[in-house]
Amino acid sequence: MSDENANEEDRCICEYIKKRNRLVHLSKNFGIGSQIKLTERESVVNDYLMKYKNEEMDKGFGRPDRFLPANHFFTSRAKIEKSKVFQFLRAMPKGASLHSHDLGMVSADYLYSLTFKENLYALVKDEELFLQFFKKKKVPKDQEWILVSELRENDPEFEDFLKSKLTLICENPDVAYPDVDTVWKSFQKLFINLEKLITYKPVFQEYFYQVLKEAYEENVKYLEFRGFLPNVYDIDGKTYRNADVVCLYWETLTQFLCEHVDFVGCKFIFAPHRLVGSEVMDEYVCIYKCIKEKFPRFVLGFDLVGQEDLGAPLINFIRQFLDLKESGCKFFFHAGETHWNGQPTDYNIFDAILLGSVRIGHAFALLKHPLAANLVKERGIGIEISPISNQVLKLIDDVRDHPAALMIANNYPVVIVNDDPSFWGGKGITYDWYVTFMGMCHRDADIRLLKQLALNSIQYSGLDDDEKDIAFAQFNCDWNKFLTRVLKGCECSSANKDCGK
């Protein structure tokens, strides 16, 4: 080849590489956080974070079977906790947690600790475990209720059996839960079987305080949660319903706020079961209006829960929803939590949009409907993404394939949420942030994305404008303190190296 031809070839390759580099560079300018300009302090902290992220990514790229986000959460959780990226995220202020459910919000360890309470009885029936508190003289005689403390003492196999009934955790989840319907059946049983453990009045308030405490410990300063208002009972047989249950939440929150003055607050979304008929939905509307009138600052809005594929679609209740909307109700609908395309389940997304839902829960099927996806982005409807829930409940196996990866890359109004951490052995929201950051985002996604996700959690919350100002101010304060702590840690680490330690 002549020198002239060789030079021409080199020139063509050089031009191609320039175009390629430009295309790669431009492609990074669309994602969540891409418009944030880092301060000098943030840049130093970012270098610290990305060093650990890149090390973990390099190890995973060489051995995908060891890349933690690609594995089932049940098998990777303990290893995730040792990750330096995870530890960074746990310490980082994360703004708000916007999607979790009343009976599944605490850590599995705390849930287990409740089984050591006095007067707790167990009933084993058809291999299922039911737990309830009784006075000794009021234990039902027609069923074989036995004190949990006695079962612990007398049956060496009971402890393992008990633990197996508190969560979905198992050694081989693909075998135990081969499909969506199977895992959902087990999931729903947890709510049913554990309801009386949690809704005993002294436990109920202690439990909710623990929910707030665990959120606070995870550097979350505002919480929105869904609840179906289960009946609460006391040891004397008194039952607390609807507004009385909301009052128990409110009393506990008030106590927590007095003791944690930098906690912005908590609001409640009434979210009963979707597998009902029109008459029951009419009752739901009445309950919502009643509790909203009595607790206007705490009760935020309305949703429906349960396996979406099996429940009635939103359109079935349009009369009731239009009535609620007319009364000023805010909606936070679960919609599109499905594999299907063109079925009633994913069409729930359209109803959620038309009814003005503030956020859409999961929205797993959203990108199959480009028009709906565009409307969600244009209108700033928050998309609640819970990757661990989606994996455990069989919507996705490897979170790298999650449709929200495309939403993050295209700067959709995404917020990261945790759904029901109790039942998959999690605690708080950091695990979901970790698998999102490591498994669903570009390798170069950095602290800018994390900061924007935290800001999104406040922006797309149900807070009014004045409340958002308070929440943003608290986040900025926490963010600056976090940067200072990390920078001091970096300085100490450097000093120790210089000293030969």
pLDDT in tens, 205-243: 999 999 999 999 999 999 999 999 999 999 999 999 999
Asked if residue 487 belongs to a domain, the reply is no
Is residue 337 among the annotated active site residues? Answer: yes
Asked if residue 45 belongs to a domain, the reply is no
SS3 (DSSP) at 216: helix
Same domain for 219 and 148, yes or no, is no
Same domain for 255 and 154, yes or no, is no
Among candidate residues 362, 369, 384, 402, the one labeled active-site is: 362
Mean pLDDT over 314-320 rounds to: 98
- Could you write out the three-class secondary structure of 64-83? HHHCHHHCCHHHHHHHHCCC
Mean pLDDT over 416-436 rounds to: 97
Same domain for 227 and 246, yes or no, is yes
The CA angle 413-104-75, to the nearest 5 degrees, is: 85
Same domain for 107 and 151, yes or no, is no
Asked if residue 47 belongs to a domain, the reply is no
Same domain for 220 and 364, yes or no, is yes
Asked if residue 73 belongs to a domain, the reply is no
Asked if residue 330 belongs to a domain, the reply is yes
Same domain for 136 and 152, yes or no, is yes
Decide: 98 and 417 in contact? Cβ < 8 Å. yes
pLDDT in tens, 56-100: 999 999 888 889 999 999 999 999 999 999 999 999 999 999 999
Task: List strand residue ranges (DSSP E) for 21-177, in order.
Answer: 95-97, 120-125, 128-133, 146-147
Is residue 99 among the annotated active site residues? Answer: no
Same domain for 149 and 208, yes or no, is no
Asked if residue 376 belongs to a domain, the reply is yes
Pairing of strands 232-233, 239-240: antiparallel
Higher pLDDT, 102 or 4: 102
Q: Does 317 have pLDDT greater than 50?
A: yes
- When pLDDT is cut at 50, 70 and 90, the band that residue 491 belongs to is low
Same domain for 301 and 317, yes or no, is yes
Full residue range of the structural domain in which residue 104 is found: 89-111+179-476
Q: Structure pTM?
A: 0.95
Q: Does 10 have pLDDT greater than 90?
A: no
Asked if residue 138 belongs to a domain, the reply is yes
Q: How many domains does the chain have?
A: 2
Distance CA 472, CA 484 (A): 18
pLDDT in tens, 363-375: 999 999 999 999 9
Question: What CATH number does residue 224 fall under?
Answer: 3.20.20.140
Same domain for 194 and 144, yes or no, is no
Asked if residue 124 belongs to a domain, the reply is yes
Same domain for 309 and 328, yes or no, is yes
Decide: 331 and 357 in contact? Cβ < 8 Å. yes
Same domain for 233 and 278, yes or no, is yes
Same domain for 199 and 128, yes or no, is no
Among candidate residues 195, 214, 308, 337, the one labeled active-site is: 337
